[in-house]
Chain A
Amino acid sequence: MTIKNKSLRRLSKKCILFSLFLFCLVLLQCNKRAGGSETIQIKGSDTIVNLVQAWVEAFRLVDPSIDIEVSGGGSGVGIAALERGAVDIATASRNIKVDEAKAVIENTGKEPVEFIIAFDALALYVNKNNPIDSITLPDLARIYGDDNRAHRWKELGITIPNVRNDKIIRTSRQSSSGTYEFFREKVLHNKDFSLGSCDMNGSKEVVELVGSTKTAIGYSGMGYATHEIKMLKLMEKADDTAYAPTVENTLSKKYPLARSLQMYTLGQPKGAIKKFLDWILSEDGQRLVAENGFVPVKSTAIVHD
């Protein structure tokens, strides 16, 4: 009985191994088939990784012979990969820094060329149960920075209903994120974030945490709004007009945290890369920008909702 069992077990193990082997073979086969066409590697900003994915899927219908691989990781990761020459296009939600551009030239011998592909407003998110509607930049600095720090919503004059402990749960981004650096520059004037914020590895995680936590606040691209969260209007100073992160306010730069989103290539793009970039900046490509919650570069493609 036991011997029979053992041999049965061994047989099943062999079957599993064999099927795994087959699976690997199938994968290899797939790779082979894809190998015949041109491949573009894109890496970088998590803020626009969804938008780039949408572009790639739509572009497949335009030109099926060009194969495009997309991954996120953060603007810093994308630019670091460009420095090594490991990718064809780096996406970034901030501008390339001088020493990063130098490193690209040094390592690859080619200059990084910038393409502004969309505009975005960095939105501040709170839970939908939070009564707050608008916030000033100095108050934001009090929440996220170390100077005169606000630990509770009460200190900002806000009472959240049905909450015993109104400690502000600050969600932030990991330090490679372009969104993180943009926020630090514009809101904290390059001073450090106060320690103890929950540093998420993507815009989606921030939105999810804020959606499920009543006393949380977070920041992310405006394309990530859900029903569980509320976007705040922003004021430069206490007496200014508050502007919501809308398409109009982003293009007119009235919204204080408006920014451009860009792609960087190694030298002037040629061939497949040029074709893809041209298509992105065309009307078809820019329509997808609006559909994904960002602001198109060309005003003709703006969709009002």
Chain B
Amino acid sequence: MHNQTVMNNETVKAGLKRTRAKRSLLSVSLEKLLELIIRLSGISAILFVLAIFFFVFREAIPITFSEHFSIKEFLTSTAWYPTSAVNVRYGTFALTVGSLSITFLSVVIALPFGIGAAIYISEFCGAKLKESLKIIIELLAAIPSVVWGFIGLTVMSKVIVAVTGAPLGVNLLNGSIILALMSVPIIVSIGEDALKAVPDSYREAALAQGATKWQIVFRVLLPAAKNGLLAAVLLGVGRAVGETMAVLMATGHAVAIPTSLVDPIRTLTANIAAELGEAPAKSDHYRVLFLTGILLFIITFAINLIADFVIRGVKGKK
């Protein structure tokens, strides 16, 4: 009896081994292949970023050795005359100011709407309304930027002329409102996630202490969801800095430092979009536009870095 069970066990073990060997023969190569593919797709992200960096730098760097070009003029001059017949100058200061001012203003406009909507959706409205609101906000995020630009050009410009009495409808304010409308859906959906992530026990504890809904929102939820909300806003900022098409159409595309809300401006992104197609390949103009791209890189990278530091600072305090 005993011997038999031992033998049985051994045959079972041998069988297992055999099947394992069989399986590996059939599938190990496939498994290895899959692993390779997954690993490649993981590495590809790094490769793509490096390739983009390499390409942009390769196109831009030769200009910095040219004698017609000074990096000081590039950063601090407002004179952007890439095709001048008498004196070619590449100054991007007005464009940088344009990009930063429109980003700042759009965040100022989008912040109360975005955070307000996130609080309403996550804390105040009923389940049915919540579902439909979320779907509609997702739809808002799905509107292509060229359509937003079109709205800015045709609808918003008339509204701005009628309300402010400005001579020109396409300007800094118009672009900022359009950009704010574009970044609100991002702020809402990420901000709502952040508020949802606050454990219900926080709310219950506050309720048990007799806090009103507003007190819960301001004293419990907002501090607890601070990081997530900040991330939401910064993602909105990221969208605003990089946005091109809508900005190109809604801002008036004039190289000038704005002195009022209703002045036309031009941004770094819109300038690249409008001029890269026309610049002869490998010419100075073409290389300066790539250098503008690097400047844009640096700006977005700095914003990201600041965001990291801010979030870390907030964490540190906690």
- Which residues 132-186 in A have Cβ within 8 Å of B in the complex? 163-167, 169, 174-176, 181, 184-185
- Which residues 179-216 in A have Cβ within 8 Å of B in the complex? 181, 184-185, 190-192, 195-201, 209, 212-216
Smallest Cβ-Cβ distance to B87: which chain A residue: A192
Q: How far is the CA of A213 from the CA of B264 in the complex (A)?
A: 13
What distance in Å separates the Cβ of B156 from its nearest Cβ neighbour in chain A? 12
With A165-B165, A196-B254, A196-B255 already in contact, the answer to whether A175 and B170 are too (CB < 8 A) is no
CB contacts (< 8 Å) of B86 on chain A: these are 190-192
Interface residues on B, range: 20 to 34
Asked if B254 contacts A199 (CB within 8 A), the reply is yes
CB of A76 within 8 A of chain B? yes
CB contacts (< 8 Å) of B169 on chain A: these are 212-213
Asked if B167 contacts A214 (CB within 8 A), the reply is yes
CB of B277 within 8 A of chain A? yes
Choose the segment among B10-18, B64-72, B77-85, B221-229 that binds chain A (4+ C-beta atoms closer than 8 Å). Answer: B77-85
Main secondary structure of the interface of A (DSSP, over half): loop
CB contacts (< 8 Å) of A175 on chain B: these are 82-83, 275, 278
With A175-B275, A176-B275, A199-B274 already in contact, the answer to whether A192 and B84 are too (CB < 8 A) is yes
Q: From B81, B170, B280, give the contact of A198 (CB < 8 A).
A: B170
Asked if A74 contacts B167 (CB within 8 A), the reply is no
- Which residues 17-55 in B have Cβ within 8 Å of A in the complex? none
Asked if A195 contacts B256 (CB within 8 A), the reply is yes
Asked if A77 contacts B277 (CB within 8 A), the reply is yes
CB contacts (< 8 Å) of A191 on chain B: these are 85-86
- Which residues 136-185 in B have Cβ within 8 Å of A in the complex? 157-158, 161, 165-170
Smallest Cβ-Cβ distance to A185: which chain B residue: B85
CB of A80 within 8 A of chain B? yes
Main secondary structure of the interface of B (DSSP, over half): loop
Asked if A195 contacts B277 (CB within 8 A), the reply is no
Asked if A174 contacts B167 (CB within 8 A), the reply is no
CB of A293 within 8 A of chain B? no
CB of A85 within 8 A of chain B? no
Q: How far is the CA of A201 from the CA of B266 in the complex (A)?
A: 13
Q: How far is the CA of A21 from the CA of B168 in the complex (A)?
A: 44
CB contacts (< 8 Å) of B255 on chain A: these are 195-196, 199
Asked if B85 contacts A196 (CB within 8 A), the reply is no
How many residues on the A side are at the interface (Cβ–Cβ under 8 A)?
34
Asked if B158 contacts A212 (CB within 8 A), the reply is yes
CB contacts (< 8 Å) of B161 on chain A: these are 212-213
Asked if A169 contacts B168 (CB within 8 A), the reply is yes
Asked if A192 contacts B81 (CB within 8 A), the reply is yes
Smallest Cβ-Cβ distance to A209: which chain B residue: B170
CB contacts (< 8 Å) of A167 on chain B: these are 167
Smallest Cβ-Cβ distance to A172: which chain B residue: B254
CB contacts (< 8 Å) of B94 on chain A: these are 195
Smallest Cβ-Cβ distance to A214: which chain B residue: B167
CB of B287 within 8 A of chain A? no
Q: How far is the CA of A214 from the CA of B274 in the complex (A)?
A: 26
CB of B252 within 8 A of chain A? yes
Can you sample 20 A-B contacts with CB below 8 Å? A73-B278, A77-B278, A80-B280, A163-B167, A165-B165, A174-B275, A175-B83, A175-B275, A176-B83, A176-B278, A184-B85, A192-B81, A195-B78, A196-B254, A196-B256, A196-B264, A197-B254, A198-B168, A198-B170, A212-B157
Given contacts A199-B254, A213-B169, 7 further A-B contacts (CB under 8 A): A73-B277, A76-B278, A165-B165, A174-B275, A185-B85, A192-B87, A214-B167
